[in-house]
Amino acid sequence: MSCEEPEMLPAAVAGGPLDDDNLLSEILLRLSPLPSSLPRASFVCKRWRSIASDPAFSRRFRLHHRRNPPLLGCFHKGAEGISFEPTLEAPDRVPPGRLSLQSDRGDLWFLGCRHGLVLIFDKTRLQFMVWDPVTGHKHYIADPPGLDVTKYMINGAVFRSCGGDVHFQVVLVAIQEAQAVARVYSSETRLWGNLITAPVTSESGDLFVTYVTMEPAVLVGHALYWILSRTSSHILEFDLERESLAVIRMPVYLSGAMWLKLMQANDGKLGILYVSGFIAQLWKRNTDLHGVASWGMGTTVELDKLLSLDPRDVVIIQGFAEDNHLLLLKTITSLFTLKLEELQFKKLFDTKVRDCYYPFESVYGAGT
């Protein structure tokens, strides 16, 4: 249908909803967040192209779909920086080079993705970077006071501020001197908040946690969670509303287990996915009426009955895409997604890359 209506059309048709730019923008705003949506709309006519290519509308479009962005692809650390591997098919497939980060410094630590942002620690320069791969914008942050990035293992997470499409916050955590410590950075104030601490010693005074692993955090409700050192069988919780730290014990059954991934269960609770051989088990943290928390085993999946796996194959959990509620599983030769509750598998691509893959969810309007 063309937007260039003939002059002799009846007034009721000539004055239709598509002739109102404000109403038309509201209609275009509700297109699918897939990369091809806005470019296709822009080909209809000049008016549509003018709206679809307007930077202000693009920001509104991204904000409108912030809670349902597609899984555009995955990042992994390569020899020349942070490489992007697309997962969508044409016409929504984003060229790898569009979202890759070229760098001549090999010591970049990938800390995670969320809300279309990527958090990276440059160990050479001892600074943190929040990168928006879609816009290309980079925000550099100096190391925070009270967290010794040269001595301790530092992990962190990035997330957009409530209701905003511009400002974000960064939470950095570490284990220092028998304490869990954290600081929060705001891009709005460009300042670090107060140092937040919590003890990580037993009643006898023994240190039972030594470091925060480099596994990306998972956001469940209003809290971020990280896996602590494997031998400790503990999880670090940072409550975003209270800005407080707490240490949680894992299920005794999982003590010392290697292949674990924190995730959000379908009912919105904190979950742990454990893979042993070809068996995947989901454990969920439940809270009773008295506020007492405990772990219980939920879904069990026999992966070899859903996938064509070689008996010599190995299944490793690579990551969790929070908005799409997808797990990334890697075998020796391929990368898959798993929607656990529905038992839906999808092969993304073949790969022999040994590095970890990190899922990237965002709204990308290619060509606009």
306-316 pLDDT per residue, tens: 887 778 888 88
Pair 264, 323: CB distance under 8 Å: no
Whether 101 and 46 map to the same domain: the answer is no
Whether 43 and 76 map to the same domain: the answer is no
Bridge partners of 199?
A: 179
> By three-state DSSP, how is residue 14 classified?
helix
Q: What domain range is 24 assigned to? A: 16-62
Whether 252 and 139 map to the same domain: the answer is yes
Tokens of 294: 């405990």
Task: Convert the pLDDT of each residue in 43-90 to its tens digit.
Answer: 888 989 999 888 889 888 988 888 889 999 999 887 678 889 999 999
Pair 146, 155: CB distance under 8 Å: no
CA 222 → CA 162, 243, 279, 364, distances in Å? 11, 10, 30, 26
Residue 9: the pLDDT is 36
Residue 240: the pLDDT is 94
Instruction: State mean pLDDT over 35-44.
Output: 90
First and final C-alpha spacing in the chain:
20
Residue 193: the pLDDT is 95
Whether 237 and 338 map to the same domain: the answer is yes
The answer to the question of residue 4 being in a domain is no
The answer to the question of residue 5 being in a domain is no
Report the distance separating Cα 278 and Cα 307, nearest Å: 10
Q: What share of the chain is helix, strand, coil (3-state, %, to 5)?
A: 15, 40, 45
Instruction: State mean pLDDT over 264-278.
Output: 90
* Whole-structure pTM value: 0.88
Report the distance separating Cα 77 and Cα 100, nearest Å: 10
Pair 89, 140: CB distance under 8 Å: no
Residue 12: the pLDDT is 38
Pair 329, 336: CB distance under 8 Å: yes
Residue 353: the pLDDT is 77
The answer to the question of residue 1 being in a domain is no
Instruction: State mean pLDDT over 11-16.
Output: 46
Whether 287 and 268 map to the same domain: the answer is yes
Whether 226 and 288 map to the same domain: the answer is yes
The answer to the question of residue 23 being in a domain is yes
CA 278 → CA 161, 273, 306, 313, distances in Å? 39, 13, 10, 9
The CATH code of the domain that includes 300 is 2.120.10
Whether 89 and 42 map to the same domain: the answer is no
The answer to the question of residue 214 being in a domain is yes
Whether 101 and 87 map to the same domain: the answer is yes
By the 10 Å C-beta count (0-12 exposed, 13-18 middle, 19+ buried), 54 is classed as middle
Whether 31 and 94 map to the same domain: the answer is no
Task: Convert the pLDDT of each residue in 197-242 to its tens digit.
Answer: 998 876 656 667 789 999 999 999 999 999 998 666 889 999 999 9
Report the distance separating Cα 186 and Cα 92, nearest Å: 33
Residue 11: the pLDDT is 40
Which among 319, 303, 191 has a CA at the least distance from the CA of 263?
A: 319
Whether 117 and 181 map to the same domain: the answer is yes
Is the per-residue pLDDT at 4 higher than 90?
Answer: no
Is the per-residue pLDDT at 129 higher than 70?
Answer: yes
Strand order in the sheet with 358-361: 101-102, 81-86, 71-78, 358-361
Report the distance separating Cα 317 and Cα 329, nearest Å: 5
Mean pLDDT rounded to a whole number for the chain: 86
Question: What is the CB neighbour count within 10 angstroms for residue 222?
Answer: 10
pLDDT band with cut points at 50, 70 and 90 for residue 178: confident
Report the distance separating Cα 302 and Cα 126, nearest Å: 43
Pair 263, 326: CB distance under 8 Å: no
Whether 166 and 40 map to the same domain: the answer is no
Q: Total structural domains in the chain?
A: 2
